[in-house]
Amino acid sequence: MTHDLDAFDRELKKRLDDMHPSARQHFLRHVVYEQIIASIPPDFAFLQGGAGVRYQLKFGAQTKDVDMLIREEVAAKANLLSMNSDDRKRYLVGHTRKLIDARPPDYCVLRVVDARHFDDVRVNELAAQLVLQAEVGSHKLQHTVELDFGVQTHPVTVTQIRGHDLLSFAGLENPDISVLGPEELAAIKICVYLEHHHQPERFRPQDIAHAAALISNCSFDKGIFAKAMAFNAIDRNIVHKLSFPLPKPNLPHSRSLWQFEELAKQCKISTDINITMKVLSKAYNAVHAQAYKLGLELQ
């Protein structure tokens, strides 16, 4: 175990020197992701989004942010959903800074430097986006990192997953991570795809790639999957779309196909979008009628 910054930097330099230059910032970025996630206790929020997919699969596409889902009871106590955007940002910045400051002294320095809110996104989906700067030892991350907070609005299944412990060489081990189950993560991705399918300019290749990777590598409980589909469809007011088979992608331009192929390689699934859609459709078609019926009952 290292006990000072100089010793830590020497050990870190050894690891970085063994990496290809393009991989060094990638490694440092994931160190920062892991330290941010470790700063947010499970009694406050769960991990979701692309970072959640990475932890469920132990691999996955590079993500540009960390997505957390604030527990429903925490949001209710703070009255988050009723706050105006400025008050909500102030609350989340202040609380996150307290959580970061409460971490034991280590070799990753995190600073919240900005906060944003997007009025065209539902509050429960994105309550606020925090922007952080980070340093790992004497290495400053070249780009800022975004920490997005959504708000839980329905029951979810959560699993405990061991952190990657990328700083274990310095004696730093992270607690187990509370992350949404694979059915929950896939349901979110599919419902985003369904909601914006008629708007090709809003096509997100990561939704298809992530959902297909989860379906291909995780054991799905059909009941949990159907329930997650129903609740997410209710949140997005698209329950009626669950009565139909999964539509084919409506790509806005050839670049979207290239983006999908790159993500598919990282997610270790077929780069042929037609094959991937068959995988997705098979899982979706097995539960969409049940999800539709449940969605009607729960509305």
Query: What was the pLDDT predicted at 1?
Result: 44
Q: Where in the chain is the domain with CATH 3.10.450.620?
A: 5-180
Cβ neighbour number for residue 112 with a 10 Å cutoff: 16
Query: What was the pLDDT predicted at 6?
Result: 87
Query: What was the pLDDT predicted at 2?
Result: 44
Residues 2-44 have pLDDT tens digits of 458 888 898 899 889 989 888 898 899 999 999 999 999 999 9
CATH code for the structural domain at 5-180: 3.10.450.620
Whole-prediction pTM? 0.93
Q: Looking at the DSSP assignment, which residues form a beta bridge with residue 135? A: 109, 140
Query: What was the pLDDT predicted at 251?
Result: 85
Backbone angles phi, psi at 11, to 5 degrees: -65, -40
